[in-house]
Amino acid sequence: KIKTKAQKSNMTVSEYLRIKSCDIKITEKQFDELNKIISYEIRKIGNNINQIAHQYNAYDIFEPSKELNIMIDQLNYKLDLIEKKLEDIKHGNN
């Protein structure tokens, strides 16, 4: 029974038991839904960056501004945090 539930949750038995022992309830469906939401938000961010790039090209700006570089660094940092959190959730390490 446990092995079947672990497989349905797309986890190993040990991952599944760790999550259950912490009373964390996350299903494969919830994990997939979270991935969809994050992917959608990342696409929106990508569209914004693309619009900025078009503006730079339209005005022949070759060097990104200091503010843009800071925003890109912050975005990369946040994306790294999201990726780590997703991995933690997947492996039951909240």
Dist CA 90 CA 94 (whole Å)? 9
Q: What is the pLDDT of residues 41-72, one digit of tens each?
A: 888 888 888 888 888 888 888 787 888 888 88
Q: Which of 34, 50, 45 is nearest to 88 (CA)?
A: 34
Dist CA 16 CA 12 (whole Å)? 6
Quote the pLDDT of residue 88.
76
Mean pLDDT of 7-11: 83
Please report where in the chains the tokens 């309830």 appear, as a residue: 25
pTM of the model: 0.49
Contact 24, 92 (CB under 8 A): yes
